[in-house]
Structure 1
Amino acid sequence: MTKPIRWGILGAAKFAREHMAPAIHAAHNAELAALATSDPARAAPFAAINSGLKIHASYDALLADPSIDAVYIPLPNHLHVEWTLKSLAAGKHVLTEKPISLTAADIAPILKARDATGLLAAEAFMIVHHPQWQRAQHLVQSGAIGQLTHVDGVFTYDNRSDPGNIRNNPATGGGGIYDIGVYTYGSTRFVTGAEPHALNAVMRQENGVDVWAQVTGIMAGPLGRFTYSAITSMRLHNRQEMTFHGDKGVIRLTAPFNAGVFGQAQLELHTGLTITTERWPGVNQYVVQVENFGQTVRNGTAYPCPLEFTQGTSAMIDQVFEQAKVISLS
């Protein structure tokens, strides 16, 4: 019997408590073994998931624990590169929340450390592990909607009532683009294999972070050139949708990013007057992500989201910020 991968988590983040800790506990051949936090109250919900959980008072103490095989990092964005590199140096495989870095250039030392150590380092871009996205990729690339001509995406939520949220803080790498632009941009790259050819962007800012942004332009790749549009916001009503529009049909994903939370994972294929709907009601993309990570660590299976892919999405984010014009809607 294969020994399970023993996971440690750096920090008692809300997202880790609600999603990733339960996913690690539920995943096949994975064990939620340790947590680093100096606050017993914040450790308690994690210990409730696994009563045998080891609590370390510092991140360094967890990294020094020889029983831990892999580390999950849900820290604020500006700490991701530092602790990813420290985890690799400590001999741990590492899964870091998105964005793994705030610029594409900052991924270079992680790539170097990954290759030098032979360990797996990856960004927790969980959606590519979900079968709805693998199905979308297959349909688009196999010509199910004909020649791809346009892709558009929307991801919005409203956190204006929570000014202390790290996403509203420029010092911690806040802003809607870093938080959710990675999804609208990265999912397009994943499905199409395309890269931005020409982009334009406008954004609205509050307190030094983008709270609304619209990106338009042209992307190009193996499927040819197509137009692109994406809206992200931290000041609009909850909405998620991705659409791939070809000359013979349309693919629409109605819960593309928070499948099972925002809504049921569902893919619609529109061809002629026919709409074919596929659904994945029981899939937890966080569990699948952990299991795929384990398959790569144990068996060398190709990881669905390697750092090279992550670096490409980060480069697209860099372009958006370089091109963006800051506007006022008041």
Structure 2
Amino acid sequence: MSSLLKIGILGAARIAPKAVCDPARVVSGVTVAGLAARNKDRAQAFAAKHGVETVYPSYEALITSPEIDLVYNPLPINLHAEWSIRALEAGKHVLCEKPFAMNLDEAKAMQAAADRSGKRLIEAFHYRYHPAFATCMDWLQDGRIGEVTRIDADFSVEIRDSDDEIRQLPETGGGAMMDLGCYPLSWALNLLGPDLKVVDAKAQTTKRGVDETLEARLQYGNAWVHLTTNMAKDTAFNAEMTIAGTDGLIHFRNPLAPHNGGSVSLRRADGSEVDQFRPVSGISTYTWQLAAIVDALNAGQPLPTEGQVILDQQERLDTIYEAAGLRHLRYR
């Protein structure tokens, strides 16, 4: 890789500016070098607005261009596997948006393509790179709340119900657990590790058949994990996690985006607060993520959102949907 990491974006997705374009303005050693979208006018307008250097005539042209080092894939979930695999086979690193794939079979095929190509395949769980989440992990690893006994985690917010909203459509991988609940699941997996087991789940579905609300119970040794998510109309934004232990409790407000007023606090068993971390700057989780990717690619070091952890996450998503009677949404 050259000293400058050149990123190409597949599709003019709404997430792309804050996930890649804006961070690239402040992270050294990286540039957004290209964009391809099915609608050429939209691609040109996006590129002009966000300072993208080149608009490519097709996804294929972008992923095969020698001017691109890493492909950012924010396409609908049902297109993640196809275009991530094709980009890897074209010799590009890939940063793929969450949730990673429609199902575990697709995720395994994507990882196999990365292994064959020798290129990096990274899932865009941006929160994992923020100092607030690192602080929470450190507190647990240091035993500051003793043995974990319970985790309650929720991410809920309204997702508008319309025919052009891919998060509401079964064929594009829609559903509350896929788009929102994947975060609380990832939080728990990162905190507890791969021995986290799905026990049961239940869901309420929309008229289109995707999960509108979903609750899942998981177990890690003697600890219970309760995950909830809700995308119904008029649902207020909520992202939070409480981790109870034998000696205390951690409350994490907005683990998703701590830079937006989030905080993580540690209390003793008697309720007295002993520590708190509040972000001291507005540096976004996406900026932390991009900086970590640039550093890891330059140094050849692994990242916490690639490799086996991706498959662990996807396997539990599949199991949760199966437990809720919705396996058909993941395997069509």
- Using the size of structure 2 for normalisation, the TM-score is 0.91
1:107 shift after superposition: 1.7
Report if aligned partners of 2:135, 2:277 keep a CA contact under 8 Å in 1: no
Conserved? CA contact 2:161–2:168, under 8 Å: no
Cα shift readout 1:168-211 (whole Å, capped 9, x = no counterpart) = 01110110111112111111110122533341111000111101
Partner residue, 1:234: 231
Q: Distance in 2 between matches of 1:62 and 1:198?
A: 39
Partners of 1:29 and 1:265 lie apart in 2 by 29
Listed as ranges, the matches of 1:268-307 within 5 Å are: 268-271=265-268, 272=270, 273-280=272-279, 281-307=281-307
Q: Cα distance, 1:233 vs. partner?
A: 1.0
Deviation at 1:34, TM superposition (A): 0.6
**Distance (whole Å) between structure 2 residues aligned to residue 143 and residue 19 of structure 1:** 33
Question: Deviations along 1:144-169, whole A, 9 cap, x unmatched?
Answer: 10111000101101123545210001
1:42 Cα deviation from its structure 2 partner = 4.2
1:107 corresponds in structure 2 to 107
Measured in 2, the distance between the counterparts of 1:270 and 1:254 equals: 14
Q: Please say if 1:164 is aligned against 2:161.
A: no
The 2-side partners of 1:191 and 1:59 are apart by 36
- 1:1-330 aligned within 5 A: 3-37=3-37, 38-50=39-51, 53-206=53-206, 207-220=208-221, 225-235=222-232, 236-260=235-259, 263-271=260-268, 272=270, 273-280=272-279, 281-325=281-325
User: Secondary structure of 1:195's partner?
Assistant: coil
Residue pair 1:8, 1:72 contacting (<8 A) in 2 also: yes
Asked if structure 2 preserves the Cα contact closer than 8 Å seen for 1:188 and 1:194, the reply is no
Change (3 A) 1:7 1:279: same
How far off its partner does 1:307 sit?
Answer: 2.5
Give the counterpart letter for 1:233 in structure 2: N
- Cα offset, 1:289, TM superposition: 1.1
Q: Which 10-residue stretch deviates more, 199-208 or 16-25?
A: 16-25
Secondary structure in structure 2 of the residue aligned to 1:306: coil
Residues of 2 paired with 1:64 and 1:116: CA distance? 17
CA distance in 2 between partners of 1:286 and 1:76 (Å)? 19
Larger CA deviation: 28-37 vs 68-77: 28-37
CA shift, 1:316, in A, is 0.8
Farther off after superposition, 31-40 or 317-326: 317-326
Q: Which runs of 5+ in 2 are unaligned?
A: 327-332
* Mapped contact 1:73–1:80 kept (Cα < 8 A): yes
C-alpha distance in 1, partners of 2:202/2:323? 8
Let me know the Cα RMSD of the aligned residues: 1.7
**Percentage of identical aligned residues:** 28
Deviation digits for residues 300-330 of structure 1, max 9, x if unmatched? 122121221011011111111111158xxxx
* SS of residue paired to 1:99: coil
> Cα gap change, 1:163/1:153 in structure 2, threshold over 3 Å: closer, same or farther?
farther
State the alpha-carbon separation in 2 of the partners of residues 267 and 49 from structure 1: 33
Q: Is the 8 A contact 1:93 1:121 kept in 2?
A: yes
CA distance, structure 1, for counterparts of residue 194 and residue 42 of structure 2: 46
Q: Distance in 2 between matches of 1:60 and 1:42?
A: 15
* Cα distance in 2 for residues equivalent to 1:62 and 1:103: 26
* Distance in 2 between residues matched to 1:24 and 1:77, nearest whole Å: 24
Offset, 1:44: 2.1
What displacement does 1:100 show?
A: 1.6
Aligned mates of 1:36, 1:291 — CA distance in 2: 23
Tell me, in whole angstroms, the C-alpha distance in 2 between the residues paired with 1:217 and 1:46: 43
TM-score, structure 1 normalization? 0.91
**What is the Cα deviation at residue 245 of structure 1?**
0.5
2:12/2:46 contact within 8 Å kept: no
**Conserved in 2, the CA contact under 8 Å of 1:35 and 1:56?**
yes
Q: Cα deviations across residues 281-314 of structure 1 (Å, max 9, x unaligned)?
A: 3331111211211222221122121221011011
Kindly indicate which of the two structures has a greater share of residues assigned to strand. Answer: 1
Counterpart amino acid of 1:269? L
Aligned length: 318
Distance 1:203 1:276 in 2: 36
Q: Contact 1:194–1:219 (CA<8 Å) still a contact in 2?
A: no
- The whole-number CA distance in structure 2 between the counterparts of 1:286 and 1:185 is 19
Q: Distance in 2 between matches of 1:72 and 1:256?
A: 23
Query: Hey, what's the Cα distance between the residues in 1 that align with 2:277 and 2:258?
Result: 13
Farther off after superposition, 28-37 or 104-113: 104-113
